[in-house]
Amino acid sequence: MASSRADLDGNSIKPMTICMIGAGGFIGSHLCEKLMAETPHKVLAVDVYNDKINHLLEPSSSPWAERIQFHRINIKNDSRLEGLIRMADLTINLAAICTPADYNTRPLDTIYSNFIDALPVVKYCSENSKRLIHFSTCEVYGKTVGCFLPKDSPLRQEPANYVLSEDTSPCIFGPIEKQRWSYACAKQLIERLIYAEGAENGLEFTIVRPFNWIGPRMDFIPGIDGPSEGVPRVLACFSNNLLRGEPLKLVDGGESQRTFVYIKDAIEAVLLMIENPARANGHIFNVGNPNNEVTVRQLAEMMTQVYTKVSGEPALASPTIDISSKEFYGEGYDDSDKRIPDMTIINRQLGWNPKTSLWDLLESTLTYQHRTYAEAVKKSTSVPVSS
């Protein structure tokens, strides 16, 4: 299939085998879908779960049955990992604990998952001269320089004080007791290690810094396909509130700003990295949508409007409620104030630009959430009638 496709320099793309670690997660499931539907590449899909890619694994009569293989492996302790990396041309590492509710409450698991568990992957790629695409995060930038300036300072308006650039922005984290930064710090150290493997041992690598990719299959709805007490990322938290007809909870007033990019746009960028190694190797790429910036409060308001449209359910009279970060996340939470990605490098190297507006991506995502979960939520909340 599609074997006559060409890369950005006009060379034909040879089919490759990709070892994808964390393939059963949100991003992995979309990347597997894209690779199966539009490319001739093979995927060795490694994860502890496969619910989000089951539709690709079954039935065995599907057109791509020969091109995707699931390996239920915990990379913490499985000697089969090196063999899979050796069989592949390229390894993509997505495996991580990456939900903020875990960073301050399970800091050890967070650091082990994002740093220690990634070490063997880097080592096997380096020792076997295999290319690596590693998923880092926009959180490595931490806070912006601008947030330390007085609220009325004109310097806050200077892009250098808030736009996050791969080659020039500093990484600014809070103190150690703010354990929120355990994740960002572990991701930063693994980036530095990969970069050093490139510099000293010639590892061919690409580092991806996703800026709040969102869309269908992100995380879980508590009490439906995840633990009732679990706290997923904001898209799933707000979806859960909307499905249950509860007010959306704004942490510390919902003043933090984020830029959201549609998962399907972002996956296009990853495919360009996969198929254009000469342009992607040795680079760190921001992948986000600078045009989709909102405060969390604005996100809550827009999601409420969109959900009313797609579900036909009326909005609540008071659709949001404020909550302190201590009450919501516990001790040691802290936040990134603002996240605008500089798009210069990805634009220059891969010619990639995001396309989907925030309204449009929320419309397709909330249509999916409503279709997938509304019935189950209704059943779970209906009180049984006693005879």
Ligand X SMILES: NC(=O)c1ccc[n+]([C@@H]2O[C@H](COP(=O)([O-])OP(=O)(O)OC[C@H]3O[C@@H](n4cnc5c(N)ncnc54)[C@H](O)[C@@H]3O)[C@@H](O)[C@H]2O)c1
List residues near ligand UDX by CB under 6 A.
98, 100, 137-139, 212, 233-234, 237, 249-251, 254, 256, 258, 296, 335-336
How buried is residue 3: exposed, middle or buried, by Cβ count under 10 Å (0-12/13-18/19+)?
exposed
Per CB under 6 A, the list member of 3, 54, 74, 353 interacting with ligand X is 74
**What is the rounded distance in angstroms from the CA atom of residue 274 to the CA atom of residue 32?**
12
Please identify, using beta-carbon distances, which residue of 44 and 248 lies nearer to ligand UDX: 248
Let me know if 379 is exposed, middle or buried by CB neighbors in 10 A (0-12, 13-18, 19+). exposed
Measured from the CB atom, the residue of 14 and 80 that comes closer to ligand X is: 80
Identify the residue among 5, 14, 76, 371 touching ligand X (CB under 6 A): 76
Cβ atoms 86, 17 nearer than 8 A:
no
Q: Which of residues 43-72 bind ligand X (CB under 6 A)?
A: 47-49
Q: Which of 64, 124, 135, 333 binds ligand X (CB under 6 A)?
A: 135
Q: Based on CB atoms, which residue is closest to ligand X, 181 or 319?
A: 181
Per CB under 6 A, contacts with ligand X among 5-24 are 22, 24
Q: What residues have CB less than 8 Å from 106, skipping those under 6 apart? A: 97
User: Could you say which of ligand X, ligand UDX, none residue 94 binds, taking C-beta under 5 to 8 angstroms by partner kind?
Assistant: ligand X
**Based on CB atoms, which residue is closest to ligand X, 115 or 319?**
115
Distance separating alpha carbons of residues 232 and 289, to the nearest angstrom? 22
Q: Report which of 200, 128, 141, 201 is spatially closest to residue 169, judged by C-alpha positions.
A: 141
Distance CA 252, CA 327 (A): 10
The CB-of-227 to ligand UDX minimum distance in angstroms stands at: 15
Instruction: Select 137 or 239, whichever has its Cβ closest to ligand X.
Output: 137
Q: Kindly indicate which of the ranges 134-142, 267-275, 308-316, 365-373 contains the residues binding ligand X, using the contact rule CB under 6 A.
A: 134-142
Out of 103, 141, 183, 262, pick the active-site residue. Answer: 183
Give yes or no for a contact between 99 and 219, defined as CB atoms under 8 angstroms apart. yes
Out of 16, 20, 28, 90, name the contact with ligand X by CB under 6 A: 28
| In the complex, minimum distance from the CB of residue 133 to ligand X, in angstroms, rounded to a whole number | 11
| CA-wise closest residue to 44 among 35, 52, 79, 216 | 35
- What number of other Cβ atoms are within 10 A of residue 66's Cβ? 9
Q: 248: part of which helix (H) or strand (E)?
A: strand 248-251
Q: Of ligand UDX, ligand X, none, which one does residue 296 interact with (CB within 5 to 8 Å by kind)?
A: ligand UDX
β-pair type (248-251, 68-72): unpaired
Task: Write each residue from 187 to 226 as x if it is in contact with ligand X (CB under 6 A), else as -, in one continuous string.
Answer: -----------------------x-xx-------------
The dihedral formed by the CA atoms of 45, 138, 196 and 18, expressed in degrees to the nearest 10: 20
173 forms part of the interface with ligand X (CB under 6 A): no
Contacts of 316 (CB under 8 A, 6+ apart): 245, 246, 247, 304
Q: Is 183 a catalytic residue?
A: yes
Instruction: Give the one entry of ligand X, ligand UDX, none that residue 213 binds, where binding means its C-beta sits below a cut-off of 5 to 8 angstroms depending on kind.
Output: ligand X
| Residue ranges in 84-103 that form contacts with ligand X under rule CB under 6 A | 94-96, 98
End-to-end CA distance of the chain: 60
Size of residue set near ligand X by CB under 6 A: 24
The amino acid sitting at 278 is: A
Contact call for residue 117 and ligand X (CB under 6 A):
yes
Nearer to ligand UDX, 126 or 325 (CB): 325
Please say which residue, 24 or 107, places its beta carbon nearer to ligand X: 24
Contact 209, 155 (CB under 8 A): no
Residues annotated as catalytic (active site), given as ranges: 183
Residues binding ligand X (CB under 6 A) = 22, 24-28, 47-49, 74-76, 94-96, 98, 113, 117, 135, 137-138, 210, 212-213
